[in-house]
Amino acid sequence: MMYLTVRHATNYRYAQPVTLGAHRLMLRPRDSHDLRLVGAELSLSPPGETRWMHDVFGNSVAQVEFSKPTAELTIISTLLLERYGLARPVFPIAPEAQHYPFVYSANDRSDLGRLLDRHYPDPRGVVDDWAKRFVTETPISTYNLLSNINAAIKNEFTYNARYEEGTQSPLETLERGSGTCRDFALLFMEAVRSLGFGARFVTGYLYDPALDGGQAMQGSGATHAWADVYLPGAGWVEYDPTNGLIAGENLIRIAVTRDPSQALPVSGTFEGRLGESLGMSVDVTVHASPTPHASMSPSESVAAPRVQADQPVQTETDIEQTSDLHPPPTGERVMAAQQAQSQDAQLLTEVQPMQNIEPAQDVKPAA
Q: Which of 52-66, 70-84, 106-120, 272-286 has the lowest mean pLDDT?
A: 272-286
Do 133 and 182 belong together in one domain? yes
Position 320 scores a pLDDT of: 30
Read off the pLDDT of residues 67-77 as tens digits, 9 standing for 90 and up. 999 999 999 99
Contact 82/40 with Cβ under 8 angstroms?
A: no
Radius of gyration (C-alpha) of the chain in whole angstroms? 21
What CATH number has the domain bearing residue 43?
2.60.40.2250
Position 69 scores a pLDDT of: 95
Do 133 and 199 belong together in one domain? yes
Do 111 and 189 belong together in one domain? yes
Position 22 scores a pLDDT of: 97
What CATH number has the domain bearing residue 133?
3.10.620.30
- Residue 280 binned pLDDT confidence (cut-offs 50, 70, 90): very high
Do 107 and 256 belong together in one domain? yes
Read off the pLDDT of residues 325-341 as tens digits, 9 standing for 90 and up. 233 334 556 666 776 66
Read off the pLDDT of residues 99-139 as tens digits, 9 standing for 90 and up. 999 999 999 999 999 999 999 999 999 999 999 999 999 99
Parent domain of 235: 95-262
Do 176 and 194 belong together in one domain? yes
Name the burial class of residue 199, with classes exposed (0-12), middle (13-18) and buried (19+) by CB atoms within 10 angstroms of its CB: buried
Q: Which of 237, 262, 287 corresponds to the end of one domain?
A: 262
**Nearest-angstrom CA–CA distance, 168 and 265:** 18
Do 293 and 150 belong together in one domain? no
Q: Which one-letter amino acid corresponds to residue 164?
A: E
Per DSSP, the three-state class of 175 is helix
Do 128 and 74 belong together in one domain? no
Do 40 and 135 belong together in one domain? no
Do 254 and 114 belong together in one domain? yes
Position 268 scores a pLDDT of: 95
Do 256 and 268 belong together in one domain? no
Q: Which one-letter amino acid corresponds to residue 98?
A: Q
Q: Which of 208, 235, 262 corresponds to the end of one domain?
A: 262
**Nearest-angstrom CA–CA distance, 12 and 301:** 30
Alpha helices (runs of H) in 269-315, residue ranges in sequence order? 298-302
pLDDT exceeds cutoff 90 at 10: yes
